Structure 1
Amino acid sequence: MAIHRLLAFILLMISCNFYFSQDVTIKDDKVLLDGKQILKAEKINAAQYSFFSMKDDEEVLLYKYMDNETPRYVSDDYFILNFLTEKTKIESTDMAKIANFMNSKKGMEKLVRWLLKERVINHDGELNSERVAVFKDKYDENITERTLR
């Protein structure tokens, strides 16, 4: 009897996970959330992506990958999320949040999922100023300011 309850509980948890998971894809320069376009995306080069608002076509987020001028030494690499409309820059070495084996499109899809999960952007692709500030407090490492050049 306990096994049946445990199995029912596990199935319930799995079904809730599928229900609340969001399908984020980038296709033809469109960021789609469950099939609905929420942002426009532009791949600038292998290390940069821009995201634009659907409302006024304004650039809201710029992603940059920085190799810290040491291409063969990856331990000092980091990424920058520049929330342009909020005038907020976040630098982080936590590559696990966005890494996806050099496929930048899949990495950017993972980035959008992360921003949705943290409620930095809503389901309409709009930035939440308060959540951007919280996101900065949680993840910003101020790499540029503490690096000697």
Structure 2
Amino acid sequence: MKNKLFLSLALFFCATNIMLSQNIEIKDDKVLVDGKEILKYEKINFFQHSFYSLTDDEEILMYKYNDNESREYKEDDYFILNFLTAKKKIECGDIQKVVTGLGMSSKKNMEKLITWLLKEKVIDVNGILNTNKLDTFYEKYNENITERTIR
């Protein structure tokens, strides 16, 4: 009896998780959520990427990876999320939030970034920036790395 109940609950949770998950994809310089375009995407180089609004082509987010001028030493690396229209800059050292793994493409990393922003409701499934959620996101993840780094 317990095995059947456990199996039923496990299947229920798996099915619910699959139904609630969204398919995030970057294809042809477009960010797609379940096949619907929500943002435009531009890869500047491996370390810098930009995301643009569909409505007015305004750059709303610039992502930049900073190796802190020490290529061999990875412990001090961080990334910057610059929400340009909201005038908020977030510096975070938790690289695992956006890096999918060694050898993975930067496009996969940006898909992981968009998934994170959608989960935190900073952007919605229409690509609209939620400034209230951005304020909360800022408080949760901004580490002010530049301010506390001695140069």
* TM-score normalized by the length of structure 2: 0.97
1:81 to 2:81 alignment = yes
- 1:12-32, Cα deviation, whole Å (9 max, x unpaired): 000000001110000110000
- 1:97-119, Cα deviation, whole Å (9 max, x unpaired): 11122411000000000000000
Trace 1:131-146 onto structure 2 (pairs within 5 A). 131-146=133-148
Deviation at 1:128, TM superposition (A): 0.1
Moved over 4 A (4+): none
Cα distance in 2 between the residues matched to 1:97 and 1:79: 10
**1:105 matched to which residue of 2?**
107
**2:117 matched to which residue of 1?**
115
Cα distance in 2 between the residues matched to 1:70 and 1:5: 53
**1:53 matched to which residue of 2?**
53
Give the residue type in structure 2 aligned to 1:42. E
Cα distance in 1 between the residues matched to 2:125 and 2:5: 35
Instruction: Report the 3-state secondary structure (helix = DSSP H, G, I; strand = E; otherwise coil) of the residue aligned with 2:132.
Output: helix
Cα distance in 1 between the residues matched to 2:72 and 2:27: 31
1:16 to 2:35 alignment = no
Cα distance in 2 between the residues matched to 1:10 and 1:69: 47
**2:150 matched to which residue of 1?**
148
Give the residue type in structure 1 aligned to 2:34. D
Q: Give unpaired runs (5+ residues) of structure 1.
A: none
- 1:27-61, Cα deviation, whole Å (9 max, x unpaired): 11000000000000000001000000011110000
Instruction: Report the 3-state secondary structure (helix = DSSP H, G, I; strand = E; otherwise coil) of the residue aligned with 2:85.
Output: helix
More helix by share: 1
Give the RMSD, CA atoms, in angstroms: 0.7
Instruction: Report the 3-state secondary structure (helix = DSSP H, G, I; strand = E; otherwise coil) of the residue aligned with 1:40.
Output: strand
* Aligned-pair identity (%): 56
Give the residue type in structure 2 aligned to 1:60. I
Instruction: Tell me the number of residue pairs that the alignment of Structure 1 and Structure 2 aligns.
Output: 149
